Structure 1
Amino acid sequence: MLGRKYGMSEAQARAGEENLRDLAAAEGLPYRTEGRDFGNGIDMHRLLHLAKEQGKQAELLRILYRANFAGERSLYADADAYLVELAVEAGLDADDARRVLADPQAYADDVCADEREAAQLGANGVPFFVLDREYGVSGAQAAEVFTRALTEAWGRRSPLKLVEDEDATAEACGPDGCAVPQK
């Protein structure tokens, strides 16, 4: 599938997968190079939007990555039942997850907006990481590449320019909070 999609030979695709496995192993992460299937991930993205509303997006994403890249079970065959299990593992309500999966329009506009934004930022594949909306890291890269990109992004950031009222008596909150005016 990778060879067809990216115009490379089977040997090149296998070498790329083995490289990904080695990069993951260097970080202590499992990565299966054989037996993974593929398909349309829109339902996973729709569930991620449900999880975002509940503050559980990062956890669901971590679980989906683990299931996709290291798990034995398919995310695409009998997907709804398995996706509900994974959503519950992330702390979502099973009925809420089933409701989203049963309605193809639920969060579809949000997913399309994400796709448009990714294209505008220059993402041309996955994974693709955006740092400070100015730097992009495409593909599975070694930790050193991320360290270099993060260091450069941090070094080039512009501190906020503080605009203040000329009235020196203006009240402001401090590290201990704000005084609440009494009526």
Structure 2
Amino acid sequence: MKIEIWSDVACPWCYIGKRRFESALAQFPHRDSVEVEWRSYQLDPSVPEHYDGTELDYLSKRKGMAPEQVKQMFAHVTQTAKDEGLDYHFDSVVVANSFTAHRLIHLAATHGKQDLAKERLLSDHFEHGKDIGSQEYLTGLGEALDLPADEVAELFTTDKFSEQVTMDINEARAIGVTGVPFFVIDRKYGISGAQPAELFSQALNQAWQEANPLIPVGSSDAEACGPDGCAVN
């Protein structure tokens, strides 16, 4: 079973959704048969590589939200994240364009470390105040992930993986994704948002049962026991 997850590194609900999905997957009996692929998405492609201002400034000025409304949203999301074991610090978040970070995730995927890269980027952005648009930071992350240094360096001298990121974003539009996180199971089921772990569990089990139906073998009237007792022939 394949699960594709469209999300943005700069999306607080995407990290919460990741944790909730992982909780459901950990309890799924067939988790070893599940392939997870992270797909790129940008909530705001127009963000400059480095934004001169705080997350509060950004949402207030560029999104037109009242500062008090933003603060209330921060408090709600921070508490929700805490409930999932995450420690958000919106006052330390560095607003930056996530495009190159997505390219790094694609690079990490070629070395079997896509989820590790996604996890580190989300954690560093929301919990540790790292600048996900910084060449210095991304280079250091590539080193921490044991990615080849020359391939990481190519992200800043070429457009390598740019096409893949753009294709992910365009495909999201094509299948009707308007917000993230967005989970697609076997190209059949779509789950929008950071849903409760219970819903993810239900979707995983339903998708598995439909993809792997039990096929009856033999006679249906053979001796068996049920709630009302055992049959006697």
**TM class, shorter-length:** 0.7 to 0.9
Q: CA deviation at 1:5?
A: 4.9
Verify: 1:110 aligned to 2:164, yes or no. yes
Residue 173 of structure 1 corresponds to none
Residue 130 of structure 1 corresponds to 183
SS of 2:91's equivalent in the other structure is coil
Verify: 1:31 aligned to 2:88, yes or no. yes
State the distance in 1 between where 2:124 and 2:191 align.
Answer: 25
The 5 Å alignment of 1:8-27 reads 8-27=65-84
Residue 45 of structure 1 corresponds to 102
Verify: 1:120 aligned to 2:174, yes or no. yes
Q: For residues 3 and 124 of structure 1, do their structure 2 counterparts lie closer, same or farther at Cα, with a shift above 3 Å needed?
A: farther
Residue 89 of structure 1 corresponds to 144
- Identical aligned residues as a percent: 25
After superposition, the C-alpha distances for 1:138-173 in whole angstroms (9 at most, x for unaligned) are 2x45xxx232243145225523479xxxxxxxxxxx
Unmatched tracts of structure 1, length 5 or more = 163-183
Q: 2:198 aligns with which of 121, 141, 147?
A: 147
Q: Is the 8 A contact 1:46 1:108 kept in 2?
A: yes
SS of 1:101's equivalent in the other structure is coil
Q: Is the 8 A contact 2:105 2:117 kept in 1?
A: yes
State the distance in 2 between where 1:129 and 1:34 align.
Answer: 26
Q: CA deviation at 1:122?
A: 3.0
Return the TM-score normalized by structure 1: 0.73
Verify: 1:75 aligned to 2:127, yes or no. no
RMSD, aligned CA? 2.3
State the distance in 2 between where 1:94 and 1:20 align.
Answer: 36
Q: CA deviation at 1:26?
A: 1.1
Residue 121 of structure 2 corresponds to 64
Provide the aligned length of Structure 1 versus Structure 2.
Answer: 154
Which structure shows the bigger proportion of residues in strand conformation? Answer: 2
Return the TM-score normalized by structure 2: 0.59
